Structure 1
Amino acid sequence: MALGSAEQARKGGIPRGLSQSAPVLFSYGFRPFFLGAAVWAVVTMALWIASLTGLLPVAEDYGPAHWHAHEMLFGYSSAVLAGFLLTAVPNWTGRLPVSGWPLFWLFALWLVGRLAFLIPGIATGTVAAIESLFLPTLLLICVREVIAGRKWKDLKVMGGLLALTSGNILFHLQVMQGGHPDIAFKLAVSAYVVLVMIIGGRIIPSFTRNWINKVGRTDFPAPYSRFDSVAILTGVAALAAWVLLAEGWIVAALSCAAFMLHAARLTRWRGWTTLDEHLVTVLHVAYLFVPLGFLGIAVAALGVVSPTAALHVLTVGTVTSMMLAVMTRATRGHTGRVLTASRTTSIIYVAIVLAAIVRPIADFLPDHARLLYVISGASWLLAFGLFLVEYAPMLTRVRRKIG
């Protein structure tokens, strides 16, 4: 485990030292998982492009399209979620973080799951058994810590992780039975969006308030209220209808309501006051894709646009842009860097937002779809490639001393 004692934790200080029994990379959860997520995001996209162009067969037993979708939702993204939770949960509970060799083996479990798809000749059942181990293990660790720390309100975050775990298992079952894992994908996307609604509702107004206070202003974001609870519950209802019904007036009506509520929720956080600090502004931009995603679900449910367009607004826009926003901020903060966006970091944000906008547009311009796919994929690679250039050294070196 990490350096520090239980006594330190009881006094309210979360230990920030390094494990003595493993490399720096495995001193804290965000380090290996953020690094691994970024590497895998680049590798996965490169392999997908190679598969599309016929240069390289990828995961043929599962189907390249299914593999690509799986690794977007359960591969790199599950690593980002793990890095966030293994860092945030100790802050919530006051308990020691998972560190050292236990963290190493947890990361190895995630990595083996990624590689299992790519090794030819392994039966799909074996791949499913190996790959399905990581998320339940992460869930058990996080639930144990939340219960031990008696942070009962944080169990709702664990509900999102449980839904994601269930979606992953369902994916494998549907593929092995010869079906299309549509429900599994929607369940996974919904789990991430719910987590963004819950956790984003904590960190976005908090970081915005800190920024506004820093620059000497007093026009703070609206505090959490019953309005936020109604917005979240309406969003959950809309997502549940989307997963179970897929289309129709019920899905459209609930999604329209969620669109309006979350658009209003975002304006209550006063994101326009943070334009001078991109590290904060990007959180608001990422959350903007929540109401846009609900709007996409609504119009897709009425047959106005394809379901794929709405899906990509949520996956690339809501999920990936928020993940990069959190990865950059958390890495800078937990490694002793100044909490301000560098020029490279700002380019990362622009690139991923461009990818999120361009990919759904391709469904409306079929004659230009191939070009738009290239632009979206290149923007994705640029975003995660630049993340590795700037943040990999931070993730693999000892934390800077402040002061």
Structure 2
Amino acid sequence: MSSRAGIATITKRKNRSQRFPPILQGGFRPFFLGGAVWALVVVVLWVSVLTSGAKLATMFDPLVWHRHEMLFGYLGAVIAGFLLTAIPNWTGRPPITGWRLAMLVGLWLVARLAVLFSLLVGAGVAAVFDVGFVLVLAAVCAREIIAAKNRNFPIVLIVLLLAVANGLDHADAFGLVQLSGSGWRAGFTLIVMLIAVIGGRIIPTFTRNWLVKHRPTAASPAPPDRFDSVCLAITAISLAGWVAAFDPLAVGASLVAAGGFQAVRLSRWCGNKTLREPLVLCLHIAYAWLPIGLLLMGTSMLHPGVPLTSALHALSAGAMASMTLAVMIRATLGHTGRALRADGSTVAIFVLVTVGAAVRVAAPVLPFDYNRTVGLAGFLWGGAFLLFAVAYGPKLLGNSLKPQT
């Protein structure tokens, strides 16, 4: 096909997509909104279980369900929304829209309900839908990348690895294999590494762009170099050792080193010069949870008095939640034709998620009732996602202010 014919085909498909409701005109729209709502549902149900003894209709242990759904449910939706929005930019192909997008979102939603109500539908059905969604997402991404002969195919391999980790978590939870949590730890590690890799691309870039426009005389973030590669390698090796349950002392020391390297890496991105721009500053704050979490994780393996749960929540409720909210907000504003500016609700979202994560991380050592402290953390943290749904839901459901590119 000639380039002119290819452009005509793409234009035709884009025009056709405009016939669908706005929510089905881009993957970021239903998946970001659906993911935020699901995160709120999960934290509300988990806090209810923890504080009032409420029962869930899932075959998962409540704690395992909470962990699984935040990792593979909420983050699965955000990853889907991100990839379905980024891949058209990488490949020049039109985005997945309309009925194809609706079917993919529907599969994600059915998977969430099947896992939640697995006592009724069965563990096998829940696993098929849950793992099946990730596999279908990988197939959709692979089709678009291969058709464009794009070099970003490794992202498909990461999605496939997430599907494997998801399946192993199901098998472990239902006693089919004895993995001692290796499945969820593998998925957790993949997400942490995605944050480290993608954060290392977008945070210095967005910071540099803002500084060039608003503070042209200020020093710019250091460009990626060998130090970044070493930092990522140490982080990956350390987390792999944690997944495989290698010698705790060696893995703990390695994780502490990885946390130190990540802290130095973050300091090279000039976050202290972006105090006047919340949309950029929030990315630096979100990434700061990564070295904090790695340092806490390593320290917990070296000194049992430091709770591992604090490290895990620094990386999940802190780094993963904050970074995904930051990305969802920027993508929503940019892809719906709005100015990249943080209003009051946006600032409140980041304050709530940051304070909520901090309270949850500190909960085991605070001199207050643990369950009530966790409930407070859940209230604050969940409030961030509720506010995102309220403030950004209309933008995701409505028409763009200008045509999307």
Contact between 1:205 and 1:269, CA under 8 Å: does it hold in 2? yes
Unaligned runs of 5+ in 1: none
Contact between 1:9 and 1:94, CA under 8 Å: does it hold in 2? no
> Distance between the aligned counterparts of 1:17 and 1:57, measured in 2?
48
Deviation at 1:15, TM superposition (A): 8.7
Alignment of structure 1 residues 159-198 onto 2, 5 Å: 159-177=157-175, 182-198=181-197
Aligned residue among 114, 117, 127 for 2:115? 117
Deviation at 1:162, TM superposition (A): 2.8
> Distance between the aligned counterparts of 1:250 and 1:8, measured in 2?
58
Letter in 2 for 1:335: T
Deviation at 1:165, TM superposition (A): 1.7
Stretch deviating more after TM superposition (96-105 or 115-124): 115-124
Tell me the SS of whatever aligns to 1:68.
Answer: helix
Deviation at 1:228, TM superposition (A): 1.1
Aligned residue among 21, 24, 40 for 2:22? 24
2:319 alignment counterpart: 318
> Distance between the aligned counterparts of 2:15 and 2:287, measured in 1?
33
> Distance between the aligned counterparts of 1:317 and 1:346, measured in 2?
16
Deviations 1:26-60 (A, max 9, x none): 10000000010111111111222222344642134
Deviation at 1:194, TM superposition (A): 0.6
Q: TM-score, normalised by structure 1?
A: 0.92
Contact between 1:82 and 1:138, CA under 8 Å: does it hold in 2? yes
Contact between 2:51 and 2:371, CA under 8 Å: does it hold in 1? no
Deviations 1:167-223 (A, max 9, x none): 111111111217576222211111111101111111111111110011141421111
Contact between 2:50 and 2:371, CA under 8 Å: does it hold in 1? no
Alignment of structure 1 residues 153-164 onto 2, 5 Å: 154-164=152-162
> Distance between the aligned counterparts of 1:221 and 1:327, measured in 2?
23
Deviations 1:48-80 (A, max 9, x none): 222234464213422222111111111111101
Deviations 1:132-169 (A, max 9, x none): 111111112223323333332x3343343233222111
Deviations 1:286-335 (A, max 9, x none): 11111111101210111241221211111111111100010111101111
Deviation at 1:17, TM superposition (A): 6.2
> Distance between the aligned counterparts of 1:160 and 1:52, measured in 2?
33
Tell me the SS of whatever aligns to 2:17.
Answer: coil
> Distance between the aligned counterparts of 2:237 and 2:371, measured in 1?
35
Matched, 1:353 2:354: yes
Tell me the SS of whatever aligns to 2:211.
Answer: helix
Alignment of structure 1 residues 249-260 onto 2, 5 Å: 249-260=249-260
Deviation at 1:253, TM superposition (A): 2.3
> Distance between the aligned counterparts of 2:356 and 2:28, measured in 1?
24
2:275 alignment counterpart: 275
Stretch deviating more after TM superposition (327-336 or 121-130): 121-130
Deviation at 1:100, TM superposition (A): 1.1
Letter in 1 for 2:230: V
Residues 126, 378 of structure 1: alpha-carbon distance in 2 compared, 3 angstrom cutoff: same
Letter in 2 for 1:253: A
2:287 alignment counterpart: 287
Letter in 1 for 2:213: K
Alignment of structure 1 residues 2-151 onto 2, 5 Å: 6-7=6-7, 19-54=17-52, 56-119=54-117, 120-151=119-150
> Distance between the aligned counterparts of 2:112 and 2:93, measured in 1?
30
Tell me the SS of whatever aligns to 2:121.
Answer: coil
> Distance between the aligned counterparts of 1:60 and 1:17, measured in 2?
43
Deviations 1:108-152 (A, max 9, x none): 000000111233422112211122111111112223323333332
> Distance between the aligned counterparts of 1:246 and 1:295, measured in 2?
17
Deviation at 1:19, TM superposition (A): 1.2
Unaligned runs of 5+ in 2: none
Deviation at 1:370, TM superposition (A): 2.1
Contact between 2:31 and 2:81, CA under 8 Å: does it hold in 1? yes
Q: TM-score, normalised by structure 2?
A: 0.92
Residues 18, 360 of structure 1: alpha-carbon distance in 2 compared, 3 angstrom cutoff: farther
> Distance between the aligned counterparts of 2:130 and 2:5, measured in 1?
34
Residues 35, 5 of structure 1: alpha-carbon distance in 2 compared, 3 angstrom cutoff: farther
Contact between 1:247 and 1:300, CA under 8 Å: does it hold in 2? no
Residues 323, 384 of structure 1: alpha-carbon distance in 2 compared, 3 angstrom cutoff: same
Matched, 1:228 2:222: no
Contact between 2:47 and 2:374, CA under 8 Å: does it hold in 1? no
Contact between 2:51 and 2:372, CA under 8 Å: does it hold in 1? no
Letter in 1 for 2:232: I
Contact between 1:44 and 1:71, CA under 8 Å: does it hold in 2? yes
Tell me the SS of whatever aligns to 2:224.
Answer: coil
Tell me the SS of whatever aligns to 1:330.
Answer: helix
Tell me the SS of whatever aligns to 1:88.
Answer: helix
> Distance between the aligned counterparts of 1:56 and 1:189, measured in 2?
27
Percent identity, aligned pairs only?
42
Tell me the SS of whatever aligns to 1:117.
Answer: helix
